[in-house]
Amino acid sequence: MRRLFHQFFLWSWLLTVPLTVFGAYWTYHTIDRFVTFAVRYNPGIFDFSLGDMGTYEYLTLKQRVFSAISRMRDTTPSSFSLIHLFVSESNLSTLETHMPQSGFDYVKGRMLIDGKLAKVQIKYRGDYIYHWGFDKKSIRVRTSKNNLFDGMRSFNLQAPKWDQQLNNFLSLQLATRMGLLAPRTRLVRIFINGKDRGIYVFVEQLGESALRRFEVMPGDLYRGEMVGKDRFHSIGDRIWLFDSTSLWDKMSTNNHYPLSSMAPLEQLLDLIERRESEEAQKQLSQLLD
């Protein structure tokens, strides 16, 4: 019995060492992510506890192990479109220096376009922590003017984590099938520096290039949000998005008018303000048709 116990003690390191390494790795990353995104940074409407972060780190490590095993066993080519991005380690470190703020500034990178490496700019994107608070981050890519990707200069790669993102994807797909003006979207597989980062939702950045694709001359295209970074904090009564043109910005402009011109939007907001009148409803119907 003593000899058996002695043998067990000698070989116990085979179990204790991996558990110790796993425990140290899990503890460090859990605390680091919690301090970064739940203590130093205000996550807004999302409330993450230390337990939530610990669960995420455990599930992520587990998923990595199973993914590695799956890739070794299954060599079937992916049925999704492949996008290859290349970013130097120094530029990746720049993005990660002081998250999330550091991630919103573009860094230089490369992208495989038509079989050739082309210069691009890359940054993280999204208003909420689920876009950039975890290992799989949502990305925005901007190409050069002379080397577009599938006719696009700017596009988004969204890391799908919530049901609402799937709703957005399906809505854009439906709009496209109905022949409506909508940004292109599809599921793609992303590789960064040769490493498989999994499935992302590809979404075209809406702008003048999208209008030209629909053979529509560039006109005034406005964007307005009251969530995330665009949320407006006021004193007194709550501000509604349709209260003022100052809460909107232009994504495309009619070249016949100054860039600062907001006349069409001003007309729309005025009609919405008078929406109870029959005349305003008639004009709204004509304007939105």
Q: Are residues 207 and 174 in the same domain?
A: yes
Q: Are residues 85 and 208 in the same domain?
A: yes
Q: Are residues 123 and 161 in the same domain?
A: yes
Task: Establish whether the linkage from the previous residue to 18 is cis, with ω within 30° of 0.
Answer: no
The three-class DSSP label of residue 199 is strand
Q: Are residues 195 and 284 in the same domain?
A: no
Q: Are residues 239 and 154 in the same domain?
A: no
**pLDDT at residue number 113:** 94
Q: Domain ends where: 17, 46, 73?
A: 73
How far is C-alpha 64 from the geometric centre of its chain's CA atoms?
21
DSSP 194: T
pLDDT, tens digit (0-9, with 9 covering 90-100), for 155-172: 999 998 777 778 888 999
Q: Are residues 227 and 209 in the same domain?
A: no
pLDDT, tens digit (0-9, with 9 covering 90-100), for 191-218: 999 998 989 999 998 877 777 777 777 6
Q: Are residues 109 and 143 in the same domain?
A: yes
Cα–Cα distance for residue pair 246/223, rounded to 1 Å:
11
Q: Are residues 260 and 230 in the same domain?
A: yes
Cα–Cα distance for residue pair 37/48, rounded to 1 Å:
8
Q: Are residues 89 and 203 in the same domain?
A: yes
Share of the chain above pLDDT 90, in %: 25
Q: pLDDT band at 219, cuts 50/70/90?
A: confident
Range of 239's domain? 221-288
- What is the bridge-based pairing of β-strands 248-252 and 195-204? unpaired
Q: Domain ends where: 73, 92, 111?
A: 73
Per the DSSP assignment, residues forming a β-bridge with 222 are: 250
pLDDT, tens digit (0-9, with 9 covering 90-100), for 171-187: 999 998 988 888 899 99
Q: Are residues 85 and 109 in the same domain?
A: yes
Q: Are residues 67 and 98 in the same domain?
A: no
Cα–Cα distance for residue pair 121/131, rounded to 1 Å:
18
Number of domains the chain contains: 3
Tell me which residue of 273, 283, 285 sits closest to 243, measured CA to CA.
273
Q: Are residues 251 and 139 in the same domain?
A: no
Q: Which two tokens stand for residue 22?
A: 């796993």
Q: Do 250 and 222 meet the contact criterion of CB atoms below 8 Å apart?
A: yes
pLDDT, tens digit (0-9, with 9 covering 90-100), for 232-258: 555 455 667 788 887 888 877 777 777
Q: Domain ends where: 213, 243, 276?
A: 213
